[in-house]
Structure 1
Amino acid sequence: MASDLLNVGTQSVLTAQRQLNTTGHNISNVNTEGYSRQSVIQGTNAPRQYGG
């Protein structure tokens, strides 16, 4: 169970990092002709059940 909590934290940090990278990419290309804004699609994972 503790490893699941660490996994949630890890995935959250990785998602935030991807969003920041995408934002930086969009900002650096704002004046590039023909560039279209990129976005990160975020979703949820299915819940896990433990025990009986």
Structure 2
Amino acid sequence: MAKTRKKILVSVYLDKEDAEALEKVAKEEALTKSTIIRKLVRAYTRRHLKGSS
């Protein structure tokens, strides 16, 4: 059985150019923008938390 995580809502403000680039990548990769942002946050926090221990 998959582990369920409690989700929270986070709002992100992006420059128009960044938002357009995110939209383009999402379409190319067939992913949602939320999925891409979650993956970026997960990779960033793991990398930085690993380095701080």
Q: Same fold (TM over 0.5)?
A: no
Q: TM-score range by the shorter chain?
A: 0.3 to 0.5
Q: Which has the larger radius of gyration?
A: 1
Structure-1-length-normalised TM-score: 0.40
Structure number with higher helix proportion: 2
